[in-house]
Structure 1
């Protein structure tokens, strides 16, 4: 008899629990449905956005290749003129490179200077334009302007720190400060992260200046 009573009470309890859960679902179930719809909708939107971005990037890349094939560097600056600042900056840098290779130094300098002085330009691309400006203008750039740019670009941890330091050494040589240039080159040679090309250029400068080979790599 006790077992029958226990079974009866258990059934009643289960029914009450189901009724309570059903009542809660009727009252708050719409919230769960909205959450599920939000998750599914968000996933669909994300995939659609990524797909659109890939298509836009592919179309921009194709347009850049077509502009390069045209043989007119100016065409690179006209690709997607209403697009993102980053893409416009990349187009300008590519055009400047084409001009520089074909002997159009003045056009290249004008292009990178415009980008280097653009307050809306992306940080890394803007700094790359500043570095290219220093390299293209060489000794013709105002010494104070060059020093200001290179001081900023060669700060610790900057994306073009080592290349900017190399340009600082070149600027010292242009100013007939050979000993200071040698000291700086040796300091650069002891830094980590030097590319093989940069290491080779520094070594060649040291051989020309002192007859000494490049310094040993840190940690070797």
Structure 2
């Protein structure tokens, strides 16, 4: 290779480097920003997880402390006074409803659950539970037919508490004097493969108590 060719090649390489550096100076900040975003995003994600974990632990400790109180009414008051939001608030109110019912305040129990029963946007695992507990805790003050209608809304296939709702529907039907319908519903529970052994056993016991036919039913 001649000196001229070598010189041209060196100049060409130098021009390429200059262009590369120019591009880096012009657009390099984008790559740097991308790295910062990635690192920052990962850090924030970990921070958010840690913050959520700490908040959940604090809420759990607060609920546990409220439940450590010996008197049921005092437990209900302590739970109601907690400064909670989201899932911890829902859990606290569900427990508080049970405590209020334990001291004979069925109306208070139903009132504690009412916001969740009325919230159509709430996840079914919470809303359906609120409906189920309302029907159970408020049974003394809610007409049997009203309870049946209420429970039917959470007894559809795939609903999280379908079988428990069906059991409570049978209880309400017995109260309303609809014995044949109750026995039929209980038999369906006893034959349902998704029912727990305890639930199937209760269904069979109720069928027997009502004088129903156990031919098709099983306690597994």
Query: Per the shorter chain, which TM-score range?
Result: 0.7 to 0.9
Say whether the 8 Å CA contact 1:89–1:121 is kept in structure 2. no
Matches within 5 A, 1:198-209: 198-209=199-210
Say whether the 8 Å CA contact 2:145–2:176 is kept in structure 1. no
Which whole-Å deviations, capped at 9, do the CAs of 1:162-190 have from their partners, x for residues lacking one?
A: 11111111111112121111111222233
Matches within 5 A, 1:139-158: 140-158=141-159
Is there any run of 5+ residues in structure 2 with no aligned partner, and where? none
Q: CA deviation at 1:34?
A: 0.5
Under a length normalisation based on structure 1, what TM-score does the superposition of the two structures give? 0.81
Residues in 1 aligned to 2:77 and 2:110: alpha-carbon distance in whole angstroms: 13
Under a length normalisation based on structure 2, what TM-score does the superposition of the two structures give? 0.81
Which whole-Å deviations, capped at 9, do the CAs of 1:49-86 have from their partners, x for residues lacking one?
A: 11111111111111111111123122111111xx3243
Say whether the 8 Å CA contact 1:85–1:122 is kept in structure 2. no
User: 3-state SS of the aligned residue for 1:153?
Assistant: coil
> In the alignment, what sits opposite 1:215?
218
Q: CA deviation at 1:135?
A: 0.9
1:33 corresponds to 2:36: no
Q: CA deviation at 1:147?
A: 2.8
Which whole-Å deviations, capped at 9, do the CAs of 1:27-63 have from their partners, x for residues lacking one?
A: 2111011011001011111111111111111111111
- CA 1:89 to 1:7, structure 2 compared with 1: closer, same or farther past 3 Å? same
> In the alignment, what sits opposite 1:99?
100
User: 3-state SS of the aligned residue for 2:192?
Assistant: coil
